[in-house]
């Protein structure tokens, strides 16, 4: 019986993979549409959109509009002067009447492409400010040759005022050098140029929020999630993101399109969408919690969405939510995979290698599905995650569960566009590892993401009296490590074979080899030489890999090998490595459950931050020689309502824009925020 389950499921997954790639080659779908600096821009394919019933297509369309209107918010949240700079650059780009073939113009265009990609002038991942490859004198000449009427001068009193503000910001490397600094400085707010705080110190901000949550409130709202904290004339107050408050113009449009969406949605989704609108209109975070509960409990709606101030990774204090939206619908075939996992959630929780006191005695409604993304926006655009688990509030997750998704058409685009890059040949030393990665790499990646999102983040519980904010700036990294370890540990469990999700331990071997190599080596391709690892997911991977390397040293579990002058990292003992994942999960769960700040800090600072400069240099050189871009992002398809006699009869989907066209179109049609907010 069990074997049949496996063969059926595994065969259908493989068949799906094959049919995807064959129907893509049939219509010459081009995955990669642009490439610049360290980035490639891809398209994703919205499988099954044409087959949706009209009502669901319409719902996708309205949610798509609600998503696109949030783009300016993300620019402004990232940095106060981003909109001023973007609008000036775009005015130049579209009206400059001089030579557009010379090298400096190309450098200018590249800079603008980078600003679009990062939703601002700081790198979307590394957070450092971009250095323009054109001179200030050239910039001044561009300004002179362009239509100044289109410059966002009004916010600065005059064109001169605008330029006097933004020119030094663009060209002086010492001004606003980083969007996000979380370690190694006295005051993380002072060192970070994100726009979530203004005019106050880290300790003032911490003190402002410290007293807010009532000590024994079991259901605290996410204090500070939807506001900017400002100190003016000696007074500290929140500017709330809401209709009538900060970002009102964009939020009004978002509400307008959400109401349209509610107009075609069925219950309970209709009420859920209207709850979100009510929250945007009031800024009341209790309503946001109510929305999240209704959203989490609605597992039946085929079309679904994320829309809101959501992830706090861009705030050095881990409190403010970056605006994002993802519109999607369920991929029925692939969802069988995650349904199997979530149906067994309690079994995984009961057998987790953690202190039984920190296991959830009753895992509440972990719903997991595989989705097809239809629109990406805000913080999720153009660079986007491949899996999501929401909502973020701990008490909602505990009482109502969470919704976990894996985005298969994004994973597909990554895999398709990466084919034939020569990466495995360059970095994977052993033939048997390369063969396993080729055969089981995708299924291992997908399952690891499924378990990370569906079970990992939702697992475990806090010790009595622990509130959940104790780990401070180390919390994101440790939380990602906890979810990754849960996934890595269970990927090698017999239970997955029994459930028919994998054929054998070989899938885990493929994933372990890739994971360790990435954590200790290849992921450094994304970091500039001399810099530390700062992003939480990257820190987490390094932390796990380095900790296991050290712990397994006596048994040579993981080994560095030098061959022909090149360094390789290999796993010698996969079973022992799995034991180490379990051992580490035990400790990381303990740290979270007990709120042990010092132990968490020690783990992150010792294993996750510093890179060996020689190794770093080697990785960058080997990457460069392959011409592989370390980052990818995506443009969206275009949706158009087809109307006959004033009635919607269809929604058309097209994949025809270039990257530049899409960015200019969004700026021209979905940009109504003031230049300074
Ligand atoms: Zn995660």
Cβ-proximal residues to 23 (8 Å cutoff; 6+ apart), any chain: none
The confidence band for 263, taking pLDDT boundaries of 50, 70 and 90, is very high
69 in a structural domain: no
Residue 254 has phi, psi (to 5 degrees) of -60, -45
- Biggest alpha carbon distance in the chain? 76
| Rounded Cα gap, residues 287 and 282, in angstroms | 9
Looking at residues 205-224, what average pLDDT do you find?
Answer: 86
pLDDT score for 214: 66
| Rounded Cα gap, residues 384 and 323, in angstroms | 13
Over the stretch 475-495, which tens digit does the pLDDT of each residue have?
999 999 999 999 999 999 999
Residues in the chain: 677
Query: What is the overall mean pLDDT for the chain?
Result: 92
Whole-number Å distance, alpha carbon 457 to ligand 1 midpoint, is 7
pLDDT score for 215: 67
Same domain as 663, residue 615? no
Sign of CA dihedral 269, 270, 276, 282: negative
Same domain as 619, residue 478? yes
pLDDT score for 7: 29
Higher pLDDT, 419 or 585: 585
Same domain as 201, residue 164? no
The number of folded domains in the chain is 3
Same domain as 244, residue 231? yes
Contact 527, 619 (CB under 8 A): no
Same domain as 199, residue 141? no
- Give, in degrees to the nearest 5, the angle at Cα 484 between 480 and 487: 145
Over the stretch 40-84, which tens digit does the pLDDT of each residue have?
999 999 999 999 999 999 999 999 999 999 999 999 999 999 999
Contact 445, 511 (CB under 8 A): yes
Whole-number Å distance, alpha carbon 69 to ligand 1 midpoint, is 26
Whole-number Å distance, alpha carbon 476 to ligand 1 midpoint, is 9
The confidence band for 27, taking pLDDT boundaries of 50, 70 and 90, is low
Cβ-proximal residues to 241 (8 Å cutoff; 6+ apart), any chain: 73, 226, 227, 228, 247, 251, 283, 309, 323
Q: Is the pLDDT of residue 23 over 50?
A: no
According to DSSP, residue 128 is labeled B
Sign of CA dihedral 280, 664, 381, 529: negative
Whole-number Å distance, alpha carbon 398 to ligand 1 midpoint, is 17
462 in a structural domain: yes
Same domain as 587, residue 469? yes
For position 205, which CATH number holds?
A: 3.30.540.30
Domain with 145, as residue range(s), is 3-30+80-178+658-669
Whole-number Å distance, alpha carbon 388 to ligand 1 midpoint, is 7
Whole-number Å distance, alpha carbon 405 to ligand 1 midpoint, is 11
**Residue 6 is encoded by which pair of tokens?**
């496996």
Same domain as 428, residue 448? yes
Q: Is the pLDDT of residue 376 over 70?
A: yes
Same domain as 460, residue 422? yes
336 in a structural domain: yes
Looking at residues 332-352, what average pLDDT do you find?
Answer: 89
35 in a structural domain: no
Whole-number Å distance, alpha carbon 291 to ligand 1 midpoint, is 22
Distance of CA 44 to CAs 47, 262, 267, 413, 656, Å? Answer: 9, 26, 30, 6, 12
Q: Report the DSSP pairing between strands 366-378 and 303-311.
A: unpaired
Sign of CA dihedral 418, 420, 422, 424: positive
Same domain as 289, residue 266? yes
Looking at residues 336-362, what average pLDDT do you find?
Answer: 92
Q: Is the pLDDT of residue 9 over 70?
A: no
CB atoms within 10 A of CB 429: 16
Whole-number Å distance, alpha carbon 269 to ligand 1 midpoint, is 26
Contact 372, 318 (CB under 8 A): no
The confidence band for 218, taking pLDDT boundaries of 50, 70 and 90, is confident
**Residue 315 is encoded by which pair of tokens?**
């705030």
Q: Is the pLDDT of residue 184 over 80?
A: yes
Same domain as 321, residue 336? no
Over the stretch 284-307, which tens digit does the pLDDT of each residue have?
999 999 999 999 999 899 999 999
Whole-number Å distance, alpha carbon 645 to ligand 1 midpoint, is 47
Whole-number Å distance, alpha carbon 455 to ligand 1 midpoint, is 10
637 in a structural domain: no
**At which of 303, 326, 349 does a domain end?**
326
Q: What percent of the chain has pLDDT over 90?
A: 81
431 in a structural domain: yes
Same domain as 422, residue 275? no
75 in a structural domain: no
Same domain as 215, residue 164? no
407 in a structural domain: yes
Residue that is written with structure tokens 């089981």 in the block: 440
| Rounded Cα gap, residues 110 and 529, in angstroms | 21
Whole-structure pTM value = 0.80
């Amino acid at each position: 019986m069990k074997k049949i389950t496996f063969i059926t499921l595994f065969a259908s997954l493989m068949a799906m993979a094959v049919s995807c790639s064959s129907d893509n080659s049939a219509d010459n779908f081009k995955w990669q549409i642009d490439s610049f600096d360290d980035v490639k821009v891809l398209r994703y394919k919205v499988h099954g959109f044409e087959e949706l019933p009209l009502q669901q297509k319409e719902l996708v369309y309205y949610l798509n509009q609600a998503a696109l209107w949030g783009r300016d918010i993300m620019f402004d949240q990232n940095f106060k002067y981003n909109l001023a700079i973007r609008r000036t650059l775009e005015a130049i780009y579209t009206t400059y009447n001089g030579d557009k073939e010379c090298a400096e113009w190309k450098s200018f265009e590249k800079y603008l492409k980078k600003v679009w990609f990062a939703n601002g002038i700081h790198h979307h991942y590394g957070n450092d400010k971009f250095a323009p490859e054109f001179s200030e004198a050239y910039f001044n000449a561009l300004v002179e040759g362009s239509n100044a009427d289109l410059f966002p001068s009004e916010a600065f009193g005059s064109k001169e005022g605008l330029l006097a503000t933004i020119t030094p910001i663009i060209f002086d490397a010492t001004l606003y050098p980083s969007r996000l600094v979380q370690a190694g400085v006295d005051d993380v707010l002072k060192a970070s140029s994100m726009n979530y705080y203004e005019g106050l110190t880290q300790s003032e901000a911490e003190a402002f929020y410290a007293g807010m949550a009532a000590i024994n409130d079991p259901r605290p709202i996410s204090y500070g999630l939807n506001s900017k904290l400002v100190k003016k004339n000696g007074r500290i107050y929140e500017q709330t993101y809401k209709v009538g408050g900060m970002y009102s113009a964009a939020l009004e449009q978002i509400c307008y399109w959400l109401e349209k969406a509610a107009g075609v949605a069925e219950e309970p989704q209709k009420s859920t969408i209207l709850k979100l609108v009510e929250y945007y209109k009031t800024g009341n975070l209790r309503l946001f919690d109510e929305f999240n509960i209704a959203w989490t409990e609605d597992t039946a709606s085929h079309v679904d969405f994320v829309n809101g101030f959501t992830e706090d990774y861009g705030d050095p204090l881990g409190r403010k939510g970056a605006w994002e939206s993802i519109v999607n619908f369920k991929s029925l075939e692939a969802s069988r995979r995650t349904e199997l996992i979530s149906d067994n959630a309690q079994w995984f929780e009961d057998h987790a290698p953690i202190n039984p006191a920190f296991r959830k005695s009753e895992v509440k409604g972990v719903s997991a599905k595989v989705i097809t993304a239809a629109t990406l926006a805000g913080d999720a655009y153009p660079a986007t995650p491949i899996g999501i688990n929401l909502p973020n509030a701990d008490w909602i997750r505990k009482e109502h569960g969470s919704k976990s998704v894996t985005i298969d058409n994004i994973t597909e685009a990554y895999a398709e566009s990466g084919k034939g890059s020569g990466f495995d040949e360059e970095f994977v030393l052993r033939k048997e590892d390369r063969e396993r990665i080729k055969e089981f790499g995708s299924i291992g990646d997908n399952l690891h993401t499924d378990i990370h999102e569906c079970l990992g983040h939702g697992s475990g519980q806090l010790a009595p009296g622990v509130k959940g904010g104790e780990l401070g700036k180390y919390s994101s990294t440790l939380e990602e490590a906890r979810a990754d370890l849960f996934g890595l540990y269970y990927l090698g469990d017999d239970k997955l074979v029994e459930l028919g999700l994998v054929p054998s331990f070989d899938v885990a071997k493929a994933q372990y080899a890739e994971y360790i190599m990435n954590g200790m080596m290849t992921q450094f391709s994304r970091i500039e030489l001399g810099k530390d690892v700062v992003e939480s997911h990257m820190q987490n991977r390094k932390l796990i890999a380095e900790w296991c390397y050290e712990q397994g040293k006596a048994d040579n579990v993981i080994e560095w090998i030098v061959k022909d002058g090149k360094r390789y990292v290999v796993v010698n003992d996969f079973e022992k490595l799995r034991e180490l994942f379990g051992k580490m999960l035990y400790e990381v769960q303990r740290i979270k459950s007990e709120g042990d700040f010092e132990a968490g800090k020690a783990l992150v600072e010792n294993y996750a931050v510093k890179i060996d400069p020689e190794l770093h240099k080697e990785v960058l050189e080997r990457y460069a020689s392959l011409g592989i871009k370390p980052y990818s992002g995506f443009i969206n398809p275009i949706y158009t309502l087809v109307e006959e006699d004033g009635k919607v009869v269809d929604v058309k989907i097209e994949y025809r824009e270039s990257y530049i066209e899409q960015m200019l179109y969004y700026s021209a049609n979905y940009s109504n925020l003031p230049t300074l907010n």
